[in-house]
Structure 1
Amino acid sequence: MRCRRDRPGRPRIDPRDLWSEALAGVLARPVRSALTTLGTVLGIGTLVITLGVASTAANQIVGRFDALTATSVTVTVPSPRPGSDSPPLVDWTGAEAVERLAGVVSAAALADSASTANVQVRANEVVAPGELTSQTLAVVAAGPALPEAVRGTMASGRFYDGGDIGRHDRVAVLGDQAARLLGIDDVRHAPAVFFRGQSFTVIGVLGGFRREHRLSTSVILPPTTAADRMGLKHVTHVLLNTSLGAAQQVARQAPIALSPGNEDALSVVAPPDLSKARKGVQGDVDGLFLVLGLVSLVVGAIGIANVTLVTVMERTGEIGLRRALGASRRQVAGQFLAESTMIGLLGGVTGAALGIVAVVCVAGAKEWTPVLDLRLAFGAPVAGAVVGFLAGLYPSLRAARMEPVDSLRAAS
């Protein structure tokens, strides 16, 4: 053992020897040291798993968040007051204006009203006694870009185009559920539907609605036809689909593009900010499991303190002999502090390693991308060492207070 004189008659132990003695003390009872380290392993491991899994799960929110909901924006337009001569806030060309905004993928204007929400619609003019010949359906008007706006597909036939709108053609497109209720599954022979004493040729069936599912039970008319024959003249909704991440920006700009100067009169429904959702979930998960990790750390610290105290009691003879040979109280306390700190450090390293492996395994099982903070990986062993140091304070101070004579007498 290398020693230097701290003051006359009092040797000072070299720090390398101090840690060598501490390591020897830890390895002298490997089973006890391993069981003592287990508490710290559990505490540090729980903290690493908690923070790692929480960060990984929060990172998946954007990916797991329903992309349809995250990119759907709806602008609601109030209808003009009855008898008012003021122009509508949004006309049918408004969808074209809003499509020019950055981040807008598709847009379509829609018109509906309470008077056309429940219309008796028949698929033929023949009324057979005792048979149900009509269905109560909604009649709406929509722009030609509606299939893209609702992210639907044409199950049969085609959707009307600018030519049908310009000619005021009496054509209609049925939602897939409406077509099923009316018994129309093929539009190649130009079936007709009848309501309010008028006939409309069915040119297509629209299905696969991923938004505005209510349209699946509706009769959809061109804007000009609906205005002429059903009184649906004014746009009531504008449906927008945006790029992922652009919904908030589009929601702020769309009312201005649709109705400059009257944007405050329009109401916008936009998805929540994903960054806030991510932070909220991560905060909730962290708060829930962080308590478990802290409890495990406290249990580990108590275990280290108890075992270190027992070790002090078992090694009173060694302590007395060291004091008799000139070791100071500080040196005795330092040796036991070094042992408890080493146990905590070993627990921190082992717990951090096991925690990182657990995070990677959970992410792999869920097919997620693991997210680990390097500060957490390197800070966990330091936290374990701090826990071990704090846990060994009292036993070390108790060992330092022992008098050489009393320690040797107790050992004999």
Structure 2
Amino acid sequence: MTRLAPLDLIGLGLVGLRTRPARALLSALGISIGIATMIVVTGIPSSSQAALREKLAELGTDGLQATQANVGSPDALPLPESAVGMVERIAPVTAVSAVANTHTRVRRNDRLDPNDGGALTVLASRLDLLPTINAEVRSGRWLNAATADFPTVVLGAVAAVRLGVTELPAGQPAQQVIIDDTAFTVIGILHPTPLSPDIDRSVLVGWEAARATLGFDGHPTVLYVRCVESEVEAVRGVLATTISPERPGQVVVTRPSEALAAKRATESSFSVLFLALAAVALVVGGIGVANTMVVAVLERRAEIGLRRALGATRGQICGQFLTESVVMALLGGVAGTTFGLLATIGYASWQQWPLVVAVGPAATGVGGAVVVGVLAGAYPSIRAARLTPTQALATV
């Protein structure tokens, strides 16, 4: 019995594609549209989802706050001075900073009523506060190791307006505010901080300057914590105990941002949508290939009968038509994957979204086309192989 080499089998499988190129093209087009649809409906929503994740991340999906419980009560215990250092030891925590209420009043100048603080809060601040709360300086500069030890302040957005210090022009004399009876030089103004509105209404003083000038005792009032997003709930569960092991009930920890739940629900919805649309696309493409192969077997009965009469085995006949089906689907898969990737890149660039082109969907497109080709060609190939020479040649 003569055995066909792999290259010969591929050559036989290409006979139908060469002799009927229009039909092969239309069948490949059907599978390519299906695969392109799968790439597009996964790629474009993935880019949109990445843009949505960036927006939701700005809402503090990885942030927590810890504050003193029962503020103002005689039984209230201040947060320990070592709180920041202890929280830093929690493995999923990526950043932690703190502020502390100095319980002092600020005014524009020394001619105003000392008891009129304009509903503003004077906070002692650590130097790493800004990156922890995603805040930015609008004018001037932030506190640093040199200025934090001296009477200098940075104003929140609302505090700057109420104190009449809205700009810090370069080359102009430094502006000052009065905290208690001490003049502090304004060195910076912050942009609004939606995640921490209390900062907008605050006047921020260096930690050591607050100790030396304002009688600050060193106990933080609010801890800002950022951690690995997937571990937010776990960190929240141990944060109070870490800060105050003896009396964790004296620490109030905010719940994770509602934006985190929205983000996870969005990801889940997108995932279900991706799977459904991809399945539909592949099924439609597979039906097109199967229909083409069934018709090809019917039209080529004479060829099948002649080859069987000349000694071709059932396995060789089956392999010929199965190869034709797989090659047809593979060509459609490559074309569809290419078109889908180009469409995804173009649309994401037009929308100015982050480009998300995962290797997985692209490889799945080509691999899925091969699987569809095998499944779609299985029945027609087996049907062709079962034809005896007399059955096949009876139609000649």
Pairwise same-fold verdict (TM > 0.5) = yes
Quote the residue 1:24 is aligned against: 15
TM-aligned CA distance change 1:279 to 1:139, over 3 Å: closer
Quote the residue 1:33 is aligned against: 24
Q: What TM-score comes out, normalization by structure 1 length?
A: 0.64
SS, match of residue 284 in structure 2: helix
1:240 matched to 2:224? The reply is yes
**Distance in 2 separating the partners of 1:304 and 1:384:** 10
Paired letter, 1:239:
L
Cα contact 1:141–1:223 (8 A) shared by 2: no
TM-aligned CA distance change 1:333 to 1:181, over 3 Å: same
TM-aligned CA distance change 1:311 to 1:297, over 3 Å: same
TM-aligned CA distance change 1:189 to 1:62, over 3 Å: closer
Shift of 1:262: 1.5
Computed over aligned residues only, the root mean square deviation of the Cα atoms, in angstroms, reads 5.4
Paired letter, 2:359:
L
Q: What TM-score comes out, normalization by structure 2 length?
A: 0.66
**Distance in 2 separating the partners of 1:126 and 1:59:** 51
**Distance in 2 separating the partners of 1:301 and 1:384:** 8
1:109 matched to 2:99? The reply is yes
Structure of larger gyration radius: 1
Cα contact 2:236–2:253 (8 A) shared by 1: yes
1:90 matched to 2:76? The reply is no
Paired letter, 2:97:
A
Cα contact 1:95–1:238 (8 A) shared by 2: no
1:267 matched to 2:239? The reply is no
TM-aligned CA distance change 1:208 to 1:302, over 3 Å: same
How does 1:112-151 map onto structure 2 within 5 Å?
Answer: 137-145=118-126, 148=129, 151=135
How does 1:29-108 map onto structure 2 within 5 Å?
Answer: 29-48=20-39, 66=57, 69=60, 72-79=63-70, 82=73, 84=74, 86=75, 88-90=77-79, 93=81, 107-108=97-98
Quote the residue 1:207 is aligned against: 189
Cα contact 2:165–2:175 (8 A) shared by 1: no
Quote the residue 2:334 is aligned against: 349
Shift of 1:96: 6.6
Shift of 1:259: 2.7
Match of 2:200 among 205, 213, 216: 216
Cα contact 2:33–2:336 (8 A) shared by 1: yes
Return 5+ residue gaps in structure 1 as ranges. 5-11, 128-133, 165-170, 194-198
Percent of paired sites with the same residue: 28
TM-aligned CA distance change 1:135 to 1:394, over 3 Å: farther
More displaced 10-residue stretch of structure 1: 296-305 or 261-270: 261-270
Shift of 1:303: 0.9
How does 1:330-345 map onto structure 2 within 5 Å?
Answer: 330-345=315-330
Shift of 1:37: 1.0
Cα contact 1:157–1:188 (8 A) shared by 2: no
Cα contact 1:340–1:391 (8 A) shared by 2: yes
Residue by residue over 1:288-339, the C-alpha shift from the partner in whole angstroms, topping out at 9 and shown as x without a partner, is: 1232222121111111111122222222332333344454555434432232
Aligned residues: 371
Residue by residue over 1:160-198, the C-alpha shift from the partner in whole angstroms, topping out at 9 and shown as x without a partner, is: 97787xxxxxx99875434534656699686779xxxxx
Paired letter, 1:341:
V
Shift of 1:204: 5.4
Return 5+ residue gaps in structure 2 as ranges. none
Quote the residue 1:131 is aligned against: none
